[in-house]
Amino acid sequence: MAGKNKKKKPLEGSRIAAQNRRARHDYHIEERFEAGLALVGTEVKSLRQGHASISEAYAGEKGGELFLFNAHIPEYESGRHFGHEPRRPRKLLLHRREIGRLIGAVRREGMTLVPLSVYFNRRGLAKVDLALARGKQKVDKRAAVKDRDWKRDKARLMRARG
């Protein structure tokens, strides 16, 4: 496991089903993980149509395992009457060592597990791009907006000069 490339982009060659755009504004992203997602059939069909929201979702521990809480995947319209519950906890599939490390970081260091996106990889499997993050203060958010505005203005000035 030591030879794995941590800088690899997990979203290459995949189709995004849902994104949490607000997460990068509200949190300092420390580390990212790719986790599998245990779903039932109607959830997969609904995700493939792009009907999902993870803006209020978070990951947490329950019984020594990690679950994705508060993610909204609506019922599949063409499915049977007894489909799935839209906001049920969904199990995250990670290696035992990764689960222990993430649970320890959340307990000891006061960090949060935030889903950045839900996507289908090249093989068609549903995955979650999970981030180990630390919450930003209001001052940090203002500084990030100020820095982003300055970079945009600087690029505009450089283009105008030639």
Per-residue pLDDT tens over the stretch 75-120: 877 766 667 777 889 999 999 999 999 998 888 887 889 999 999 9
Q: Give the CATH superfamily of 15-135.
A: Small protein B (2.40.280.10)
Whole-structure pTM value: 0.74
Amino acid at 48: R
Per residue in 7-16, pLDDT (tens digit) is 455 556 568 8
